A and B are shown apart, each in its own frame.
Chain A
């Protein structure tokens, strides 16, 4: 193997493979930190597989303008990705480099000065990821930027405990063909976050899709797509095909590269979120997100010396200084309640009295942390007092508290962003 490339562009081109093979690889996976480089007449194909995500990157002057690729001799070699990156970086004063397989080592030499050489070991093993799908049961083409931002909005939300394995994932939905919506949802079982992006032309090929991404793949997916340049990406899914030895997978195509996400076997269904997001709650009140910041700090303070197993906060709707307000009381000793005044809104609705709920204090803190810069937030809830009316031999069931954040109209992209969080109430 012997080829010449522009060093800087080549470094940019190998970045996704490095990301897959090292930064986000499964620890001690057999191909961890390995990249197979295959030089062909027209292009270089890089293959990396980190255990959960694989990437096959054909690199040529077609997808990397300034690559300046010249194949001297076809061939292939597998190297440690950190070696490759570091030695390429170490030749910072040289524009073009020759990469040569010589005596079982990979030699990088400056194209202009043959005496400047870096050598690295090669590995006999070839990176062989599972086969990529051939036929796809779902296939949507979407805006890359929207997709990345969508994932980023809910990346904090999946369960972090393997004890709730079914929630260690993110649900991606492409809904509707005319009034289109891309929705990203993740949750822990007790609290969920949903990012919705609506627009007229955000699903380019007007297809619907519903795919579940494992939590462990989210970081690498966002990294890969953040560094990509193409405005559109293709998101496909392929079902397992035993005859052709193809596992269940989600395929992302961008910049001429193909990334496959595996390990989907356990994520077969997700709870019906629509039942909550579209539910007409009996109570809908509005407050300013800004007003919650101090409350969040107060709640945090009450946790410092708290040694009970459970730290909950009670939210009660009651009169304060002549107006209706939210009374927030962390359920700890020696705490004075804080009040948040409601913000007028024609969509407010309050039915009945004795309106309250009690929830994990961390959910309140997350509303503030994830809610963005400000604006009105909408609380939709049923009073927890309804649980008292349920006979003791029946399960205590009520809709979770739904918090809807201010709508964000993105005029340049002609889309409307919405962000929701909903969480359950606690009995203690």
Chain B
């Protein structure tokens, strides 16, 4: 008969195990403790048997309090008290530590003398997660676009290989509730449900731009900006992030065009220092940004590798020519300056349209700048009455 059980890991499995325990006990008195309770008080109650011949289930939601100079020492002291208490727990009493963040092997070893330790996984590989989502939807006879499942899982960790299981379960539940009554989940449903993750939005946005899909890009970004707290700030940040990304692509493309080795390109880019502004208005001074005492690079190694196709993701470089990137960079910088010098929300929206159309190749040098130049030349010719 267990006297102590430790449940750690994802919430669903912890809860499932706790429900199983409750079903086994059937008739029990329930007590729950947290940091508001004193360890002395908790210890006293745990060592007592029930007045009415019932089982007693004590759920420790957070570790009880004890006097100590700091939290870390308090934690060690409380766990020490619990270890001493275990032999005094009468049969019929069960103490469950429910996700209080235990990891010390010495504590687990002590627990195992009186009960069990359940250490459920907290993360799951993306492929397992996708199969879990698919099974969940199939069991409920919901048809889905395969990309929708990919988007759902990717939204939880855009660059990584695994996802947090708790977040996955919540997201599955969220999308299931979102499509309530419908029997199909589309890519758009996934975008709508996952749009709370800013990272996901931005990286999905970049993927759509790389795929030269201006309509989906525009939909995604319009939805996102409609839901942000401060439109002006968020749109500026977004343009800044685009300048940063396309600046990197431009540098990488230049290296590729010069037929430099990928390592060399990476080294050259990583030598670029990140700058930060200090002061206000005319007194702004730029200096090197320091991170943990070291000079921070403008682009992280992961980001450079990913751009050059040396990481987990496919390189976006083949989607753009150097000339295109020059134009995109030019447009984005111009937009950033314009927004910073004062724009209405409507003007910012138009600026986004222009940026997206430029990135997707719908606005190019030929149908804009070249056209304007040609027009100017024609005017000049007419005014001077002679051919140049």
Known contacts A164-B31, A189-B29, A309-B40; is A397 also within 8 Å of B50 by CB?
A: yes
A397 touches B51 (CB 8 A): no
Q: Which of B37, B48, B81, B84 interacts with A161 by CB under 8 Å?
A: B37
- Report A354-408 residues with CB < 8 Å from chain B CB: 359-360, 387, 390, 392-398, 400
A190: interface (CB < 8 Å): yes
In the complex, how many angstroms separate the beta carbon of B68 from the nearest chain A beta carbon?
13
B66 — nearest CB in chain A belongs to which residue?
Answer: A309
A272: interface (CB < 8 Å): yes
B44 touches A310 (CB 8 A): yes
A276 touches B51 (CB 8 A): yes
Q: How many residues of B contact A (CB 8 A)?
A: 31
Q: Which of B39, B42, B49, B55 interacts with A427 by CB under 8 Å?
A: B49
Secondary structure class of chain B's binding surface, majority of residues: mixed
A424 touches B51 (CB 8 A): yes
Known contacts A396-B90, A427-B90; is A163 also within 8 Å of B47 by CB?
A: no
A423: interface (CB < 8 Å): yes
What sequence of 0s and 1s flags, for each residue 302-321 of chain A, a beta carbon within 8 Å of any chain B beta carbon? 00000011111000000000
Complex CA gap A262/B248 in Å reads 66
B100: interface (CB < 8 Å): no
Known contacts A271-B51, A309-B43, A427-B49; is A189 also within 8 Å of B31 by CB?
A: yes
A184: interface (CB < 8 Å): no
Known contacts A189-B45, A395-B55, A423-B51; is A310 also within 8 Å of B88 by CB?
A: yes
B44 touches A311 (CB 8 A): yes
Q: Which of A192, A275, A276, A387 interacts with B90 by CB under 8 Å?
A: A387
B104: interface (CB < 8 Å): no
B53: interface (CB < 8 Å): yes
B47 touches A395 (CB 8 A): no
Complex CA gap A124/B89 in Å reads 58
A310 touches B52 (CB 8 A): no
A425: interface (CB < 8 Å): yes
Q: Which of B1, B30, B31, B34 interacts with A395 by CB under 8 Å?
A: B1
B48 touches A427 (CB 8 A): yes
A428: interface (CB < 8 Å): yes
Contacting residues, chain A, for B29 (C-beta < 8 A) = 189
B32: interface (CB < 8 Å): yes
A205: interface (CB < 8 Å): no
A425 touches B32 (CB 8 A): no
In the complex, how many angstroms separate the beta carbon of A191 from the nearest chain B beta carbon?
8
B33 — nearest CB in chain A belongs to which residue?
Answer: A163
Q: Which of B52, B55, B85, B91 interacts with A271 by CB under 8 Å?
A: B52
Known contacts A164-B31, A387-B90, A427-B88; is A394 also within 8 Å of B1 by CB?
A: yes
B92 touches A395 (CB 8 A): yes
Known contacts A163-B33, A163-B37; is A395 also within 8 Å of B48 by CB?
A: no
Secondary structure class of chain A's binding surface, majority of residues: loop
Contacting residues, chain B, for A425 (C-beta < 8 A) = 48-49
A424 touches B37 (CB 8 A): no
B92 touches A309 (CB 8 A): no
Contacting residues, chain A, for B43 (C-beta < 8 A) = 309-310
Known contacts A164-B31, A310-B43, A394-B1; is A190 also within 8 Å of B48 by CB?
A: yes
Contacting residues, chain A, for B33 (C-beta < 8 A) = 163
A281: interface (CB < 8 Å): no
In the complex, how many angstroms separate the beta carbon of B346 from the nearest chain A beta carbon?
43
A426: interface (CB < 8 Å): yes
A422: interface (CB < 8 Å): yes
Contacting residues, chain A, for B50 (C-beta < 8 A) = 397, 424
Q: Which of B1, B41, B49 interacts with A393 by CB under 8 Å?
A: B1
In the complex, how many angstroms separate the beta carbon of B332 from the nearest chain A beta carbon?
52
In the complex, how many angstroms separate the beta carbon of B278 from the nearest chain A beta carbon?
46
Contacting residues, chain B, for A393 (C-beta < 8 A) = 1, 91
In the complex, how many angstroms separate the beta carbon of B100 from the nearest chain A beta carbon?
15
- Report A150-198 residues with CB < 8 Å from chain B CB: 161, 163-164, 166, 187, 189-190, 192
Q: Which of B37, B48, B89, B92 interacts with A360 by CB under 8 Å?
A: B48
In the complex, how many angstroms separate the beta carbon of B228 from the nearest chain A beta carbon?
33
Complex CA gap A71/B32 in Å reads 56
A309 touches B44 (CB 8 A): yes
B49 touches A396 (CB 8 A): yes
A310 touches B91 (CB 8 A): no
A397 touches B44 (CB 8 A): no
Complex CA gap A319/B207 in Å reads 88
In the complex, how many angstroms separate the beta carbon of B33 from the nearest chain A beta carbon?
6
- Report A405-428 residues with CB < 8 Å from chain B CB: 422-428
What sequence of 0s and 1s flags, for each residue 207-249 of chain A, a beta carbon within 8 Å of any chain B beta carbon? 0000000000000000000000000000000000000000000
B31 touches A400 (CB 8 A): no
Q: Which of B39, B40, B41, B49 interacts with A397 by CB under 8 Å?
A: B49
What sequence of 0s and 1s flags, for each residue 72-93 of chain B, a beta carbon within 8 Å of any chain A beta carbon? 0000000001001100111110
In the complex, how many angstroms separate the beta carbon of A397 from the nearest chain B beta carbon?
5
Contacting residues, chain B, for A161 (C-beta < 8 A) = 37, 41
B40 touches A390 (CB 8 A): no
A188 — nearest CB in chain B belongs to which residue?
Answer: B45
B34 — nearest CB in chain A belongs to which residue?
Answer: A163
Q: Which of B34, B85, B90, B91 interacts with A309 by CB under 8 Å?
A: B85
A428 touches B88 (CB 8 A): yes
- Among A192, A311, A390, A395, the one with the most B-chain Cβ atoms within 10 Å of its Cβ is A395
B1 touches A190 (CB 8 A): no
Complex CA gap A198/B32 in Å reads 37
Complex CA gap A116/B185 in Å reads 77
A426 touches B47 (CB 8 A): yes
In the complex, how many angstroms separate the beta carbon of A363 from the nearest chain B beta carbon?
10
A361 — nearest CB in chain B belongs to which residue?
Answer: B44
Complex CA gap A345/B52 in Å reads 28
B40 — nearest CB in chain A belongs to which residue?
Answer: A309
Complex CA gap A428/B87 in Å reads 9
Complex CA gap A398/B37 in Å reads 27
A423 — nearest CB in chain B belongs to which residue?
Answer: B51
In the complex, how many angstroms separate the beta carbon of A93 from the nearest chain B beta carbon?
51
Contacting residues, chain A, for B52 (C-beta < 8 A) = 271-272, 275-276
B91 touches A426 (CB 8 A): no
Complex CA gap A394/B90 in Å reads 10
Contacting residues, chain B, for A272 (C-beta < 8 A) = 52
- Report A240-263 residues with CB < 8 Å from chain B CB: none
Known contacts A360-B44, A426-B44; is A163 also within 8 Å of B32 by CB?
A: yes
The 4 A-B pairs with the shortest beta carbon distances in the complex, nearest first, are A395-B92, A309-B43, A428-B88, A427-B90
- 19 pairs of residues in contact across A and B, judged by CB atoms under 8 Å: A163-B34, A166-B30, A190-B51, A276-B51, A309-B39, A309-B42, A309-B84, A310-B43, A310-B47, A360-B48, A395-B1, A395-B91, A396-B90, A400-B51, A424-B49, A426-B44, A427-B47, A427-B89, A427-B90
* Given A310-B85, A395-B92, A396-B49, 15 other A-B residues pairs in contact with their CB atoms under 8 A: A189-B29, A189-B51, A272-B52, A276-B51, A309-B40, A309-B42, A309-B81, A312-B47, A394-B91, A397-B92, A400-B51, A422-B51, A423-B51, A424-B48, A427-B88
